[in-house]
Amino acid sequence: MDSYRLNDLKITIDKLGANRYTKASYPVRYGRFCEIKTPQYLFQCNLNGEIKTIRGLKSNWPHPSKWLKRTDANGWVFYSVGRFLRLFSFLGEYYLPCLSYPSNSLCEYNPFGDFTVQKALAAGSRLEADLRPLLANGVPVKIKDFVGRIWRHDPNTLRLKTEKLHQIIGGPVSVLPPDTRHVNYEVIPLMVADGCPPVFI
């Protein structure tokens, strides 16, 4: 794990998270990931340099345990804590996943209408541009390489990647089984086709 500080910015690469799924009343990160901490936000990225989670650090953020997660289809899920005991009794989970589209919502609460959440998403969209000065000389090679990976995953690149995923699977997945909440919506859609397998002669 390597860390680098520049003024009020801290970048930590190759952090080791949990290696086993667990239900917890606090955010758990799995596998290896990288963090970028600014005075306002904590961004967590996968090793490819794609933003995976955002959490606000200021007092105007809805709650320290609430966070945003970007899916592989470039959508966002807001994990709300609600009231822990009531939520756990109702869902068997400590977090209520709030999706960024209105259909199939588990409740009427829409965090994406909150200006604070909108500002966090905007900060995530600007992140690669904000970090670009770190590609200059004087920055350790590991940090420069990581920032370069983030820079190559700008919002347009992520959008094109999403379009390619939707092209492969035949469109966006409109409904996910309720049990996917147990794995934080980390699912791979699998299309099963009717008919016989082709015969080669």
Does residue 161 fall inside a structural domain? yes
Task: Note whether residue 12 is domain-resident.
Answer: yes
Question: What are 165-183's pLDDT values in tens digits?
Answer: 888 877 777 666 666 665 6
pLDDT at 105: 57
Kindly report, residue by residue over 129-157, the tens digit of the pLDDT.
888 887 776 788 888 888 889 988 888 88
**Amino acid, res. 44:** Q
Q: How far is CA 29 from CA 35, 50, 66, in A?
A: 11, 15, 13
DSSP state at residue 198: P
Decide: 29 and 44 in contact? Cβ < 8 Å. yes
What's the pLDDT at 191?
A: 60
Whole-number mean pLDDT of the chain?
80
pLDDT of residue 36: 94
Cα 125 → chain centroid: 12
Residue 91 lies in a domain: yes
Domain-located, residue 201: no
CA 48 to CA 149: how far, in whole Å? 6
Residue 143 lies in a domain: yes
Task: Write out the H or E segment, with its range, that includes residue 52.
Answer: strand 51-56
Structural domain includes residue 196: no
Q: Give the count of domains, the chain.
A: 1
Token couple for 101: 């589209």
pLDDT at 57: 95
* Contact between 40 and 56 (Cβ < 8 Å): yes
Q: What percent of the chain has pLDDT over 70?
A: 75
Which residue range is the domain that position 119 belongs to?
2-183
- In a domain? residue 192: no
pLDDT tens, N- to C-terminus, the chain (201 residues): 788 887 888 999 989 888 887 777 677 788 899 999 999 999 999 999 999 999 999 999 988 888 999 988 888 888 887 655 565 656 666 677 777 776 655 566 788 889 999 999 999 999 888 888 877 767 888 888 888 899 888 888 888 988 888 888 777 776 666 666 656 656 666 666 666 655 544
Burial 43-57 (b: 16+ CB within 10 A, else e): bbbbeebbbbbbbbe
Q: Has residue 190 been placed in a domain?
A: no
Could you tell me the two tokens for 49?
Answer: 């340099």
